[in-house]
Structure 1
Amino acid sequence: MSAAPETGPDATASLGSYVASWCPAPVTDEDPLLAGPVAALSAVLDLPAPVARDGDPLPPLWHWLHFLPWPAHQALGADGHPRDGHFLPPVPDRQRMFAGGRCTITEPLLVGEPAERTSSLLSITEKHGRTGDLLFVTERREFRQRGRTCLVEEQDIVYRSGRNEARHPQSLDTSARPEADAPWQLALQPDPPLLFRFSALTANAHRIHYDAPYCRDEEGYPGLVVHGPLLALLMLELPRRHAPARQVRALSYRLRAPIFGGERLAAYGTPTTTGAILRTATHRAGEHATAEVDFA
């Protein structure tokens, strides 16, 4: 979640009213897709060598290391998230939650090859939940190399106005281990340095990932929050490691409940006839995040 404007919300206005005339135009960016970020994330995940070098296919979702915006420091809000952005809806006291997404891969992006990304607003949907009004914003991104569309991605972001009223555990048992019977497994216990390094690699200055006092005092979390994109990448590590000869053609993922720094988590995968079913779990819950993968 991430906050933005300083002004308080109008209790009589629905979130949809703030975006009734909001229609940001598509934006096209370029990136050289350098190998450095790939090597850096490989090191963060304790891999023995970079997963890809110049000319190699970029693993699914590792394009999140590229096309990163770096706003001026003065453009950040008190929580470290940008106050304004081209695809950030003009909602007062904005709170942001990364909910999930989908990705279709016609051919993998190649490391070291210049790429182009066109981002556009796909949809806006207002919903009413038990904690208040929610605004679902879906952004579509098309990635091209050498004039060919290689990858199409949709990301679902949920916004609300004001503080999140969800309840979180008061304390965490960081010694407990999740248990499951699955053919593919990957364990991790993300500590503050790992979360800080992942924030740097993804240009994410949101304080919930590295500022523990802020997490507790301002956001009501029991500890640092593990990045949703990190959970998605961990799930996708399972087919990459256990079915390296199979090319991922399509994938979808959903983030359901937060995991906190220091907790022991595990990604589990079960292969199917056409792909795999994936999830992340802790001793607290069996499905903090879920994903499905289809192979070519």
Structure 2
Amino acid sequence: MNPDDELGAELRRLFDDERLDIPPAAGAGNAIVAGARRRRRRRTALAASAGVLTAAALVAGGLTVARQEPGTQQAAPPPVVPPVPTTTVPGTGPGPVVVPPSFPEVTPPPTPPPALPPATSPPARPPVITTRPPPPPSTSRTTSRPAPAPAVLGPVGYGKLRLGMSFDEAKATGMLAHDDTPPTGCVTYPLTEGTANIASVTISPDGGVVVFTATGARTPENIGTGSTVAELQAAYPDLTGDGGDYRTTTRSGGEYRFSVGSGGTVVNWELVGSPDC
């Protein structure tokens, strides 16, 4: 039995069903069968047309790819297939399904990464110049050492040497220079320290040390070379003399003798014992 006969038999069975209250019109079955056949033929023709259109689209796509420049690939656009209308007749199964032919998918070439800008070295930073404030002025004070106190020729002598000391006693102090010759009269001896303070010491065989001739040394009252007459009179109220020679006694029994020059100042002075040379 062919499909048309099966369809007709099925339709007759449906129409002959007692559950249908309305009896079909005469010739209705033949009309329905004829309409179903027409729709089936139309569906078949549309499916064939779709296959032809698909083949034509594939051929056109192949030609387009072949015309492109070498090394460039483009994916062919998918073919446009018109929809195929389908009609389902009650009591019949769906019509044949037309599956469009498949074609291999053309993978587009990978997109190259964007070109990086040429590497450039970072701009050189300007040198950092650190300005330091100038150092503060030195606050250190120049410490000037006070002038050493002048050597003192007192009323009894100088250092270890004393008025009236014998030659041997003076020699024992170690302050006499050229002490290998004992005095046979009044003899002057320089000191081992030099002549900056005392020029010489006079020693006699009988009186011992009798004279200290001063240079840079001064009296305990700060009188010495360069002192004025007024300073002499202020330091020694019992000062006597005139014409350039002045004297004042000391508590040791000796005396200071001052020679004043034309400028009115002391030019040399001595401590003299008694008796002197």
TM tier relative to shorter chain: under 0.3
* Bigger share in helix: 2
The TM-score with structure 2 as length reference comes to 0.21
Name the structure, 1 or 2, with higher relative contact order (CA <8 Å, separation 6+): 1
Superposition TM-score, scaled by structure 1 size: 0.20
Of structures 1 and 2, the larger Rg is shown by 2
